[in-house]
Amino acid sequence: MRAIPALFATLLVASAAAADSTEWTVDASHSNVGFSVSHLVVSKVKGRFKEVTGKAMLDEADPTKSVVNVTIPVSSISTDDEKRDAHLKSADFFDAANFPSIVFHSTKIARAGDQKFKVAGELTIHGVTKSVTLDGKLSKPIKSPWGKDVRGVEISGKINRSDYGLSWNKTLDGGGVVVGNEVTLDIAVELNK
């Protein structure tokens, strides 16, 4: 019997939190989901995902109570090389046919300075979900010339691709491997209300 009042209290708190939050939507045409990874141990290959959708429930009074959800279609990957992009979409890497989306859901947001935050969450790639913590920066809202409330979000961090089953590689004769394991994320997203 105690479960029913506890459930009611949880729903009440969640409803109150939602009432203090405002929904913002990712503007894909003004957003960039970029990444870079070591190639042949001597350089870096940069790429991006051309499509992204998502929503953020932002609490203006206390941004640490905000929630972010983002989905990225794997098929939108671009490294400016069609052959490489096809390889990245294949079963050797992302296996887009079986795992068509990359998904991020925030679980905790903590302050890390003025308009800066540590954003912890669950990142799912290639059917594998891992906890990650990324560095985030949230701009203050402005009014666009078209009357919309707009703000920017910058996210950066590093992940290990092999943690997500993206382990294809070849060893080089002189030592090292073709593709590094550490992937640097560099994401700039525009949000509209």
Q: What is the pLDDT of residues 86-95, one digit of tens each?
A: 999 999 999 9
Q: Which two tokens stand for residue 185?
A: 């994320």
Task: Tell me the mean pLDDT in the region 180-189.
Answer: 91
Going along the chain from its start, the domains and CATH numbers come out as 21-192 (2.40.128.110)
Angle (nearest 5°) at CA 22 between 20 and 147: 135
Give every CB contact of residue 174 below 8 A, 6+ residues apart in sequence: none
CA of residue 120 relative to chain centroid, distance: 10
**Each residue of 127-174: pLDDT tens digit?**
999 999 999 999 999 999 999 999 999 999 999 999 999 888 778 777
pTM of the complete model: 0.84
Q: Residue 25 pLDDT more than 50?
A: yes
User: For position 19, what pLDDT does the model report?
Assistant: 52
